[in-house]
Structure 1
């Protein structure tokens, strides 16, 4: 995300230093994959403390979000980045059995599945499919989006995690980042979505305003108010897609 942001900002602002910094970040991804045989969540030997069992440090599906940065880097001259992006997508769609099972399995945190991580995977597949006109990656992204949407809560929101099949479910904790990502994905895929208007209303209720500024609360039902940058950015795009028929996102503009 850092690589992509730097490259896109640099191109838009004519800032060559930002583009160069973004390319160095993308080069680090390419080098890590070459060194370890796959792109690791955390480069081995760089963590100061033991890492727990979590989608963010042991999963693999969310790394598909890196496809966007790799494609931006490739468009700025780093060809090996495009090759890595293609390998990552093909690894996801060429699984034995149902690739959706492998995708959800790559979002595990203990005995739960992170919907935030699965949305990242769906977003990365959408980016590749849109950029490369690849129906297989678009289909898997669409199926993952449908899977996420089926986890919608009665109140219109989405939990951060769902239990693995056959495991006992804790009380679901709604997360606005997942809600905004899910809304954005169903719009990008133009999917029929039961309860769509209720979900939009729920996202709007999570917005806190102060003067002429606004931000989205990460966990609206939590006792402590946590106004979250990422959830807010996702929400801006999700709400615009659902309220402005003229608004559309090219692959490189997805946050």
Structure 2
């Protein structure tokens, strides 16, 4: 069965240009980052940072921006007649490239925002993780520390300083209700098994056999760290 081609690939091929190896790698990176984005949205905790994939996508974005600026400058300066055949080809190329640029930017923004949303939700919890245990990138750790400083100053000026000293601790875990909001690792997630030969997993009182290619809904704590796709 022939592979269904991406519409953008088809348009580029129609212009007589086939994606080279670097472009194919960049396209694969966008697909991988989109999968990481979906997994990040579905998982209850922050997942390991897909830094290499994100950097590949960002490099592609920078290259696409340079291409758009260069071709737009040619049209603007009149080096190529916009109404001629060359001008029409450039306009079509710009349309394709700008579409691809927006797609890559959308995926990158979505991935980062999904991570920041979970960092915001459990900021104090993530601030207690050691550098070896944290899945946050250095930039995300810097963001977290700045956020906590701003939040502490706001709470102090608003109401905390007017309370008894025993009630001013934002990371208090004593008593019936903890002040630290931790990720719910028992939240169910949908997964697809991408590798054969995985060991059975224990989920509550049940033991689940993970078949290659199978789809399952299981607690995140039961499948954390396994080579499966969260979908």
TM range (shorter): under 0.3
Structure with greater contact order relative to length (CA < 8 Å, sep ≥ 6): 2
Name the TM-score, length of structure 2 as normaliser. Answer: 0.27
TM-score calculated relative to the size of structure 1: 0.25
